[in-house]
Amino acid sequence: MNNDYHNDYRFNGLIFISFMILFFSSCDTYNFSQPQPADKENIYEFPKDFQGYWILDKEDESVNIGIRNVEFIEDHYTEKIVKGAWPRLDDKGNFINSPFDNGGLKTIRYDSLKRPIDTINNYLVRGNYIYHTDSKGLLEKGYHYRVDNDTIIVSIDDTTLLDLGRNAFLRKLNNKYYVLNINNSIIGDLNNGDINRWWQVLILDKKDKAHINVWYLTEKFEQLPSMFYNHDGYYYFDGKWTTADMMRLLHEGNFKVGSRLIRDKKTGKKN
């Protein structure tokens, strides 16, 4: 038999979608052939009232909106990796897994008779950084670490930056509502076809000094005549909505508030 047994490990934090992708995940099924609204110019700076530190409602993450970018700040935490190769066999031939979720520096691969046939590198340690190796052997982001006896303690500190520019910009509906247009190449899978031809749109609503509403598209959008292709729950639109069209769609329930940002009183408006 050619069946083999092995465990693949990686930093727990990297199993989850990054904060930025999570923030936009409610709108990634709706793809637009061009930015919206069609009758407005691109804006490459956030309005002054939008700038500052915000907390994502019901989440631990925070957002820092600068003049020309958004910084998605994720939690700081640690992960533990045990030195050596795992899983191991005890005296009775039973598998012993790593004492930590992130396994060891290496993984032992066994055949169906529990004979070791290969050793896979899970991480590479170089200087002050440790790097996870993916299934192709390519290195992911490096993190600082320290050693405590047989344990490597990794400090995870992730932030993601979205810059306004060619692939992301605002267009104004009125003094309250702005449309944030984001090219799929920023938040999508670059290997999934020529997705950089498509755009995601969401609406930012400065509700008051302490709150920003983030509006996502609802299923009502799927009924619009500009929707011309649907594949596996992904919808594609070829439309040129004016500002008046966008406001009408908003008031008719084609958008809903999906996220709320609350002003971080501790940090205030630092940029």
Q: What is the pLDDT of residue 163?
A: 92
For the record, the structure tokens of 173 come out as 């509906």
User: What parts of the chain have a pLDDT lower than 70?
Assistant: 1-6, 12-28, 58-60, 75, 187-196, 266-271
- The candidate with the shortest Cα–Cα distance to 106, out of 127, 88, 128, 129, is 88
Q: What is the pLDDT of residue 90?
A: 93
Q: How far apart are CA 204 and CA 181, in angstroms?
A: 11
For the record, the structure tokens of 225 come out as 């005549």
Strand partners, 96: 88
Q: What is the pLDDT of residue 270?
A: 42
For the record, the structure tokens of 229 come out as 């292709």
Q: What is the pLDDT of residue 245?
A: 96
Q: How far apart are CA 268 and CA 61, in angstroms?
A: 16
Q: What is the pLDDT of residue 148?
A: 95
Percent of all residues in the chain with a pLDDT value above 70, rounded to a whole number: 83
- 3-class state of residue 116 by DSSP: strand
Helical residues (DSSP H) of the chain, grouped into ranges: 19-24, 184-187, 243-251
- Do 158 and 74 touch, CB atoms closer than 8 A? yes
